[in-house]
Amino acid sequence: MRRLVTVMLAVMLLGAACGDDSSSDADPALVASLQSRFAASPQAQSGDFPITDETAKCFAEGLVADLGAAKIQSGIDLEFDAFMGTLSADERRTVVDVLLGCADVTETLVTQLSGGGDTLSADSARCIVDGMLANDAFLDAVADSFVSGDSAFESDAVTVAILPLFLECLTPEELAGLGDN
């Protein structure tokens, strides 16, 4: 999860230096820059992530609107994790929320979690992913993981918050199989 979100966010923020039209109140040149640089990135072109031009535009507009053009421009030349380190915890969470509001990462995460159905069924994986993406403790931990370098899953608060999801979402056979991996 952290790797997926890190790559998606990093690619999008790398685009923060260029220009195009935008119907939002956000700085059109900055929004266009974010959008065009993201679209040209190798990660976005790989097809591994559900990022369309509309998603990139939505994310760019959201970041500029929610964090402000000055904040985005001040971090343009930083590596993504370093940029995230300049943000407050609330701002980091805003970045995650904006991304998840624009990009449908559910299918990608379900595929990663289910691993082709060897361990978890797609239905069980979807139940877990939906629960995680609706859980504030998990989303806060994802946002904080960009600064701490820790996996969101290493947080005690996240473990406590998502453990009930596993008990609710997994079949007895899937629960028993978790220890085998």
Instruction: Going from the first residue of the chain to its last (181 residues), give the mean pLDDT of each consecutive group of 10, the final group possibly shorter.
Output: 47 37 65 75 64 84 92 77 87 92 87 80 94 92 81 78 91 84 56
Per-residue confidence (pLDDT) for residue 125, from 0 to 100? 93
Q: Say yes or no: 57 and 71 in one domain.
A: yes
Per-residue confidence (pLDDT) for residue 37, from 0 to 100? 66
Per-residue confidence (pLDDT) for residue 178, from 0 to 100? 78
Q: Say yes or no: 14 and 81 in one domain.
A: yes
The domain containing residue 120 runs over which residues? 108-178
Residue after which a domain boundary falls, among 69, 104, 139: 104
Q: Say yes or no: 36 and 61 in one domain.
A: yes
The total domain count for the chain is: 2
| DSSP state at residue 15 | T
Q: Say yes or no: 97 and 118 in one domain.
A: no
Q: Say yes or no: 47 and 92 in one domain.
A: yes
Per-residue confidence (pLDDT) for residue 123, from 0 to 100? 94
Q: Say yes or no: 119 and 75 in one domain.
A: no
Q: How many CB atoms lie within 10 A of CB 167?
A: 9
Q: Say yes or no: 130 and 170 in one domain.
A: yes
Task: Please state, in angstroms and rounded to a whole number, the distance separating the CA atoms of residues 146 and 80.
Answer: 8
Q: Say yes or no: 19 and 81 in one domain.
A: yes
Q: Say yes or no: 82 and 15 in one domain.
A: yes
Residue after which a domain boundary falls, among 43, 76, 104: 104
